[in-house]
Amino acid sequence: MVRQHVNPLSRFYQLPRPLPAPAELFARAELPLHLDIGAARGRFLLAMAQGEPDWNHLGLEIRRPLVDAAEADRQALQLNNLHYLFCNANISLEGWLAALPPGLLQRVTIQFPDPWFKKKHHKRRVLQPELLLAIAAALAQGTALFVQSDVLAVIEPMLAVIEASGCFERPDGDARPWRAANPLPVPTERERHVLAQGLPVYRVLYRRNGLPPPPVALLEQRLGETLEQSPEAADNPANRQVSP
């Protein structure tokens, strides 16, 4: 399984795209919302939407051909609790999250994002501080943020920004540093592929606590201090796992 990258910093992907409100996307917009950032071909959400008819599911993906294919599958099954949108989440998602009705967003998943290893490419990673703070502001206390990857150099910086925010905690009793099992009923295609090769998947489930999101400057300061104390895994070639 080969990952097809796009450069999110290119001019085309830096253009903001207005995202429709939930009422324009779903037949029952009041249902709890699951947001999957980096939905890829969309088959994970396709199965989730069928298994959870009392939830709405929204997948965001930066590769437009994958969005078009996923939307075709959704329409063929006439699923009105599922939608896919093409956008760069770090450009277009913050304002959309801020406009959501309080309590609507109940789950955010970020699974197997593209592995930008080099330090100069860190700004291409999906979970930038501003986006994390927008997610934290939209999630009510007790709701879920689930992240997983097969690459330590990808998951560790994600955890660093999440934990530096102070807005999320791991559920009591969860295994550390990684969950042994996926808490969701459906694995992604990438997850199935990695596990079939006998390779590890690094997973963490977070719950939103009651603390307000900090200013972005404070989050970046905390993050910088964290990385100074513990050099980032991306700079250690031993932590890199090459995608098959």
**Which residue numbers are catalytic?**
114
116, 149 Cβ separation under 8 angstroms: no
139, 108 Cβ separation under 8 angstroms: yes
170 DSSP 8-state letter:
P
In the numeric block, which tokens belong to residue 92?
């277009």
CA 185 to chain CA centroid, Å, is 17
Q: Any bridge partners for residue 61, and if so which? A: 86
- Backbone dihedral region for residue 40 (phi beyond 0: left; psi -120 to 50: alpha; all else: beta): left
In the numeric block, which tokens belong to residue 155?
């998951």
